């Protein structure tokens, strides 16, 4: 790392690889030659073209899809902003490891690999209403750790999160990046009642007031009002871009994390699709700000990358349509 830990990430964000236009054009041409009405497969064709553009493979193939889930805990939870105890994060990680979580079943159904990362769950981040969540070095190190998610090889990365209270943290980050008050971004999360939603909004407002103009820089916003799982997701998205791995984003928290990169470079998420739209009110708002149209809208707010895992089945089907459909030879 350089003397300033974020400098390496700023350099990466300024020099991101671009799409493979030749591969994209080849898939458009292949679909034009298949025996079907023009554009009759709708977004399935778009997905296949996107896969080719960002993997550099035409036709694209998905042989090693991976769901990566990052789990973190937050100091702000002490303000009673979640109906679940902090211990629920570790319990969810253990359930995934034991094969009993919803995402395990989705991975089995769609033949997906799964990695779950425990990000120092016994050491919650700083309370964002009183201090920064992380210092710059710690945030940069967590982003670097997130980059290792694809170290073993993958050709589709599905990103998810676990963390008690992290819908409030995501709301704070969205407010920092795009403006507004806490009430504009918070929602029920994992089942908050009206009084708890009000406490969530108040926590966001206090964090915004405390950190002030420092939030104008997206990486500073991430470290000050974000969390470890959000930082790791940012790192994973960057690593995927550098290694030509298309990405599926799942849920409010993952999308909020991705917003940091978008603010730093508006083209940073071009290799990403939004897998699923959660019922959390802020998710639709941030998706619109980022210009992301979800592949699925099933009312899934479970977390764990479930929406991304479900959408991976569609993406795998899109890849197969681009490679397996018969091409008509016209005289």
Q: Which are the catalytic amino acids?
A: 304
Tell me the CA distances in angstroms from 6 to 110, 147, 148, 218, one per residue in order. 37, 14, 17, 11
Q: How many angstroms from the chain centroid is the CA of residue 258?
A: 6
CA distance 140 to 284: 28
Q: Whole-angstrom Cα distance, residue 116 to residue 179?
A: 32
Residue 70's SS3 state is: strand
| Secondary structure of 107-146 as H, E, C letters | HHHHCCEEEEEECCCCCCECCCCCCCCCCHHHHHHHHHHH
8 Å CB contact between 119 and 229: yes
Q: Which element (helix H / strand E) includes 66?
A: strand 65-71
DSSP at 214: G
């Amino acid at each position: 790392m350089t003397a300033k830990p974020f400098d390496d990430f700023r350099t990466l964000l300024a020099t991101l690889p671009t799409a493979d236009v030749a591969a994209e054009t080849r898939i458009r041409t292949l679909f034009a030659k298949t025996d079907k009405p023009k554009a009759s497969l709708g977004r399935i064709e778009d997905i296949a073209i996107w896969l080719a553009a960002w993997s550099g493979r035409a036709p694209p193939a998905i042989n090693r899809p991976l769901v990566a889930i990052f789990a973190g805990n937050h100091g702000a939870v002490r303000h009673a902003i979640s109906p679940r105890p902090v211990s629920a994060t570790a319990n969810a990680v253990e359930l995934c490891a034991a094969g009993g979580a919803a995402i395990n079943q989705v991975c089995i159904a769609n033949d997906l690999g799964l990695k779950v990362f425990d990000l120092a769950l016994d050491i919650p981040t700083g309370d964002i209403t009183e201090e920064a969540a992380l210092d710059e070095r710690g945030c940069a190190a967590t982003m670097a750790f997130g980059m290792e998610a694809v170290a073993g090889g993958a050709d589709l990365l599905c990103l998810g999160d676990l963390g008690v209270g992290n819908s409030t943290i995501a709301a704070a980050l969205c407010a920092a990046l795009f403006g507004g008050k806490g009430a504009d971004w918070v929602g029920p999360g994992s089942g908050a009642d009206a009084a708890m939603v009000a406490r969530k909004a108040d926590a966001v407002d206090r964090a915004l007031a405390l950190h002030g103009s420092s939030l104008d820089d997206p990486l500073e916003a991430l470290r000050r009002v974000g969390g470890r799982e959000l930082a790791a997701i940012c790192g994973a998205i960057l690593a995927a871009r550098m290694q030509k791995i298309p990405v599926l984003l799942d849920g409010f928290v993952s999308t909020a994390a991705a917003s940091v990169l978008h603010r730093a470079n508006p083209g940073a998420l071009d290799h990403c699709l939004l897998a699923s739209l959660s019922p959390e009110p802020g998710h639709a708002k941030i998706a619109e700000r980022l210009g992301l149209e979800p592949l699925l809208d099933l009312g899934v707010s479970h977390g764990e990358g479930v929406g991304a895992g479900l959408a991976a089945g569609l993406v795998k089907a899109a890849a197969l349509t681009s490679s397996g459909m018969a091409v008509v030879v016209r005289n």
